[in-house]
């Protein structure tokens, strides 16, 4: 990272001249946003610049939780401004930083040839015009016959004569009739729970609201799974049991003001790039004004940054975060280093917490044996946390949650943050760090609640699910234990809403082509609770329609009421009215027109009496809601820490164990380039890269292995390897490096190539409260041929 702060103006100009390939080739040696931080560029890189009368739209990136703001410009091809082609020269500012070549594409709109530019907005509050490498390619993800995106699905398709017949293009009426008829027959014969849904809950407010209402209120089924969970649980249950809600409680400005960042289970550099660079720069992480404690099994760039800041990197044994949190609390409580006044005023259950964490098993010397972190480093971390109590952002995310003890991990870090007074103060929070944007509000109650608290995989395994409808979910990449469940998916009536042909659509009985970001007015919220209208600005390909439109058409065909929306705005207005009174999710005072006026920055919620609440669990929150926290009594609850009393992470009844046959722990991470299932990165239906320059950076699944393990196995960097578990295997390319400790390997979660997805070896065993399945898997590695 030190090199990132020494980029000269000449370096930046070289980056701009290299265009897309240059940005990608330089990789992590430059900031994710560096390519746009200049005022001059090589004119020959640009065919046209937007004219002053170009159509202008506001949007926000759809990928990670930051939701960087973007401006969109559209103009007829050949009508743009022509830059000087012979020399470098300054040009008047159009909107701020100079646009990179990857920001512009050729497409069609209303039958005309147009150019579309999607460029970071300098006025965006959250990003300050920074962006991730994913966001840089937003324009390249748009539909165009001149881009790899030309393979988009364009027509509804059905199998008219059973599984053996081909998918045939049909009209929307025929496809909806066919689907509704089959759904009705299944419900009549087997009951509503025989019909299930799997969906991505980040996939826009209107879509989520439509499908949950169809499932829960319409047909009254409780069979639901999602991106990361196997039943309708709460992946923030541990945090919510402590503070009352899993909603992220911080605001982006906290990264400018915090004195200490405690981060566990999240590589923010790759999964929240704009905010991480904000912490590095205006937050002072670069010069030591902010320090960081980074907890992770992997030594990545953030580990180096933590140590350089005067903080700590704690390389933890996978799956032991709950023990580390309890050990830190052991030191803090035993030595009176916590915030006694905050605990007395705003919490309950401290006596239970104290009794639990003072157990000798959580003493640093004993915790060190479990976590792999030396006792002196655990003490050093406790000292830093105590020094900056009330000034620390305690954040955690998927790495600690996607485990069978995810609940205990959440409770441990949540309680630790609260006893230090890190809640609702400038630069201080106790919160999830955020993964994807929020796309679900006002969901109806689950019918048959007792039976609903069962894994959708369990229901499929027992033959109870006869039909499955998949939205914004690639089953053949995203769900666990693929070798076991792929044959089961192929036996049921499978309906898929998708934007591209995928391995999942190949096996579907019905394929509905979906319209997506940029093609209609989508609604999402960032993890600092800014709700955004992402304006529609271009045509959807062929007959593709928004998911909510498809759900509404099917619901009406099945005789269900309450689905009479004409526009996406109608759904939003219905949803916002239902949020009134929610302490953490109230958007009832934010109208559609308000969102249009807000531009790329969105509007922060909850909003009450015409005022947005910037930080949850703050004095401002308390004044508006009547309590300091979102619990019924307005206090943080520390008693859930008792769940740690008998915890043994490696002997948990749901956890598989390493042994002589499978001696290595496999862990996973998200890659900056490959968001979610890589749906805009690589298409596993046609086996083609969709953004070739991004694909070149990680064209195969990298398997990170410690040099000591690699030497014992005779493996070198570049060797093809098979990662094997008791239930399957997948393929990758070895990368020998000191990232993981001996005994641990690391791979990219949800890598989109079917033979390289880690879910070929994951188990469907899930945390009984979070509904998350275990991403820690005992494996071995063998060399194979390509």
Q: How far apart are CA 156 and CA 553, in angstroms?
A: 13
Tens of pLDDT, residues 734-745: 999 999 999 999
Tens of pLDDT, residues 264-307: 999 999 999 999 988 998 888 988 899 999 999 999 999 999 99
- List of residues 6+ apart from 350 with CB closer than 8 A: 343, 419, 638
Domains 2-142 and 237-435+637-644 share a fold: no
Angle at the Cα of 672 from the Cα atoms of 656 and 770, rounded to 5 degrees: 40
Q: Phi/psi of residue 680, each to 5°?
A: -110, 15
**Is the pLDDT at 92 greater than 50, yes or no?**
no
Indicate the helix (H) or strand (E) that contains 224.
Answer: strand 224-226
- Residue 16 CA neighbour count, 13 Å, CB half: 24
Confidence tier at 113 by pLDDT (50, 70, 90): very high
Q: How far apart are CA 568 and CA 353, in angstroms?
A: 47
> 512 vs 36, which has greater pLDDT?
512
What average pLDDT score do residues 607-633 get? 96
Confidence tier at 555 by pLDDT (50, 70, 90): very high
Tens of pLDDT, residues 335-344: 999 999 999 9
- Check whether the bond before 606 is cis (ω within 30° of 0): yes
CB atoms within 10 A of CB 40: 14
Buried-state track 209-223, b at ≥16 Cβ within 10 A, e below 16? bbbbbbbbbbbebbb
Indicate the burial class of 634 (C-beta count within 10 angstroms; 0-12, 13-18, 19 or more).
middle
Q: How far apart are CA 67 and CA 106, in angstroms?
A: 24
Buried-state track 650-676, b at ≥16 Cβ within 10 A, e below 16? eebeebbebeeebebbbbbbbbbbbbb
CATH architecture classification, 2-142: Sandwich (2.60)
Q: Are 228 and 498 in contact (CB under 8 A)?
A: no
How large is the C-alpha radius of gyration of the chain? 25
Indicate the helix (H) or strand (E) that contains 734.
Answer: strand 728-736
Give the pLDDT score at 443: 83
Q: Is the dihedral of CA 217, 219, 220, 222 positive or negative?
A: negative
What are the start-end ranges of the E strands in 570-642? Answer: 603-604, 607-608, 611-612, 636-637
What average pLDDT score do residues 393-412 get? 97
- List of residues 6+ apart from 5 with CB closer than 8 A: 286
CB atoms within 10 A of CB 491: 12
Tens of pLDDT, residues 417-443: 999 999 999 999 999 998 889 999 988
Indicate the burial class of 6 (C-beta count within 10 angstroms; 0-12, 13-18, 19 or more).
exposed
Bridge partners (DSSP) of residue 723 are 730, 781
Q: Phi/psi of residue 559, each to 5°?
A: 80, 20
Q: Are 188 and 180 in contact (CB under 8 A)?
A: no
Q: How far apart are CA 241 and CA 44, in angstroms?
A: 58
Q: What is the mean pLDDT of the chain?
A: 91
Q: Are 292 and 310 in contact (CB under 8 A)?
A: no
> 584 vs 444, which has greater pLDDT?
584
Lowest mean pLDDT of 148-157, 500-509, 765-774, name the range: 765-774
Q: How far apart are CA 245 and CA 604, in angstroms?
A: 17
Q: Is the dihedral of CA 108, 111, 112, 113 positive or negative?
A: positive
Class in CATH terms, 157-226+453-526+530-583: alpha beta
Give the pLDDT score at 587: 97
Which DSSP category does 567 fall into?
A: S
Tens of pLDDT, residues 670-679: 998 988 888 9
Give the pLDDT score at 34: 31
Q: CA 262 → CA 255, 325, 544, 785, distances in Å? A: 12, 11, 44, 42
Q: How far apart are CA 328 and CA 335, in angstroms?
A: 11
Confidence tier at 364 by pLDDT (50, 70, 90): very high
Q: Are 386 and 332 in contact (CB under 8 A)?
A: yes
Q: How far apart are CA 621 and CA 613, in angstroms?
A: 6
Give the pLDDT score at 97: 52
Q: How far apart are CA 769 and CA 240, in angstroms?
A: 11
Write down the domain spans for the chain. 2-142, 157-226+453-526+530-583, 237-435+637-644, 656-783
**Is the pLDDT at 43 greater than 80, yes or no?**
no
Give the pLDDT score at 447: 86
Fold of 656-783: Barwin-like endoglucanases (2.40.40)
Confidence tier at 86 by pLDDT (50, 70, 90): very low
Give the pLDDT score at 539: 95
> 25 vs 526, which has greater pLDDT?
526
Confidence tier at 22 by pLDDT (50, 70, 90): very low
Tens of pLDDT, residues 644-681: 999 999 999 999 999 999 999 999 999 989 888 889 99
Give the pLDDT score at 9: 30
Give the pLDDT score at 448: 76
Lowest mean pLDDT of 386-395, 604-613, 717-726, 766-775, name the range: 766-775
Q: How far apart are CA 59 and CA 57, in angstroms?
A: 7
In what side-by-side order are the strands of the sheet with 157-159?
167-169, 157-159, 510-513, 493-498, 467-471, 195-199, 224-226
Confidence tier at 444 by pLDDT (50, 70, 90): confident
Confidence tier at 363 by pLDDT (50, 70, 90): very high
Class in CATH terms, 237-435+637-644: alpha beta
**DSSP-H helix ranges across 691-757:** 692-697, 707-713
Lowest mean pLDDT of 50-54, 146-150, 564-568, 635-639, name the range: 50-54
**Is the pLDDT at 120 greater than 50, yes or no?**
yes
């Amino acid at each position: 990272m030190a090199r990132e702060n020494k980029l000269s103006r000449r370096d930046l100009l070289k980056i701009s001249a290299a265009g897309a390939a240059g940005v990608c080739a330089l990789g992590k040696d430059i900031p994710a946003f560096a390519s746009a931080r200049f005022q001059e560029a090589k004119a020959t890189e640009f065919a046209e610049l937007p004219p002053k009368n170009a159509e202008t739209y506001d949007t926000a990136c759809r990928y990670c939780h930051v939701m960087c703001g973007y401006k969109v410009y559209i103009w007829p091809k050949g009508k743009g401004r022509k830059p000087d082609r012979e020399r470098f020269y300054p040009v008047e500012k159009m909107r701020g930083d100079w646009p990179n070549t990857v920001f512009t594409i050729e497409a069609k709109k209303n039958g005309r040839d147009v150019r579309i530019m999607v460029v970071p907005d300098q006025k965006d509050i959250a990003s300050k015009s920074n962006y991730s490498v994913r966001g840089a390619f937003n324009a390249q993800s748009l539909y165009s016959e001149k881009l790899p995106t030309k393979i988009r699905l364009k027509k509804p398709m059905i199998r008219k004569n059973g599984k053996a017949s081909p998918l045939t293009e049909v009209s929307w009426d025929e496809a909806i009739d066919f689907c509704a008829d089959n759904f009705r027959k299944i419900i009549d014969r087997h009951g509503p729970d025989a019909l299930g849904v799997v969906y991505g809950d980040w996939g826009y407010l209107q879509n989520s609201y439509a499908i949950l209402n169809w499932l829960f209120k319409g047909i009254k089924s409780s069979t639901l799974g999602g991106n990361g969970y196997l039943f309708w649980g709460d992946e923030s249950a541990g945090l919510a049991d402590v503070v009352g809600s899993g909603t992220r409680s911080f605001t982006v400005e906290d990264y400018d003001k915090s004195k200490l960042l405690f981060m566990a289970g999240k590589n923010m550099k790759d999964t929240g790039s704009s905010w991480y660079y904000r912490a590095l720069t205006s937050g002072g992480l670069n010069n030591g004004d902010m320090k960081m404690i980074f907890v992770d099994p992997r030594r990545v760039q953030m580990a180096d940054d933590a140590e350089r800041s005067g903080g700590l990197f704690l390389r933890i044994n996978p799956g032991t975060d709950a023990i580390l949190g309890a050990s830190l609390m052991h030191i803090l409580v035993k030595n009176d280093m916590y915030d006694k006044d905050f605990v007395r005023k705003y919490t309950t259950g401290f006596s239970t917490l104290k009794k639990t964490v003072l157990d000798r098993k959580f003493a640093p010397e004993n915790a060190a044996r479990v976590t792999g972190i030396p006792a002196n480093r655990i003490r050093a971390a406790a000292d830093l946390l105590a020094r900056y109590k009330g000034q620390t952002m305690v954040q955690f995310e998927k790495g600690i949650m996607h485990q069978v003890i995810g609940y205990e991990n959440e409770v441990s870090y949540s309680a630790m943050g609260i006893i230090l007074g890190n809640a609702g103060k400038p630069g201080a929070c106790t919160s999830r760090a955020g993964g994807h944007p929020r796309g679900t509000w006002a969901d109806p109650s689950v019918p048959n609640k007792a039976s609903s608290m069962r894994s959708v995989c369990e229901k499929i395994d027992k033959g109870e699910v006869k039909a499955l409808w998949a939205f914004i979910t690639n089953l053949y990449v995203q769900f666990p234990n693929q070798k076991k469940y792929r044959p089961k998916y192929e036996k049921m009536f499978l309906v898929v809403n998708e934007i591209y042909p995928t391995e999942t659509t190949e096996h579907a009985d019905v394929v509905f082509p979906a319209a997506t970001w940029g093609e209609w007015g989508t609604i999402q919220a960032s993890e600092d609770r800014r709700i955004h209208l992402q304006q529609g600005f271009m045509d959807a390909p062929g007959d593709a329609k928004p998911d909510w439109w498809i759900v509404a058409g099917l619901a009406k065909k099945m005789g269900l009421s309450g689905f009479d929306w004409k526009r996406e705005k109608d759904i939003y207005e219905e949803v916002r009215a239902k949020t009134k009174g929610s302490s953490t999710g109230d958007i009832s005072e934010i109208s559609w027109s308000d969102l249009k006026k807000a531009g790329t920055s969105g509007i922060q919620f909850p909003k009450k009496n015409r005022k947005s609440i910037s930080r949850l669990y703050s004095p401002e929150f308390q004044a508006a809601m009547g309590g300091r926290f979102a619990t019924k009594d307005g206090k943080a609850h520390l008693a859930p820490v008792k769940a740690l009393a008998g915890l043994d992470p490696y002997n948990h009844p749901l956890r598989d164990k390493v042994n002589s046959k499978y001696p290595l722990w496999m862990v996973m991470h998200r890659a900056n380039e490959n968001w979610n299932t890589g749906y805009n990165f690589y298409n596993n239906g046609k086996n083609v890269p969709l953004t070739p320059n991004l694909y070149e950076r990680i064209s195969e699944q990298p398997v990170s292995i410690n040099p000591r393990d690699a030497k014992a196995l005779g493996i070198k960097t570049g060797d093809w390897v098979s990662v094997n578990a008791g239930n399957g295997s997948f393929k990758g390319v070895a990368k020998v490096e000191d990232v993981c400790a001996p005994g641990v390997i690391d791979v990219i979660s949800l890598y989109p190539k079917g033979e390289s997805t880690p879910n070929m070896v994951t188990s469907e065993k899930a945390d009984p409260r979070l509904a998350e399945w275990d991403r820690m898997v005992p494996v071995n590695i063998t060399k194979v041929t390509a």
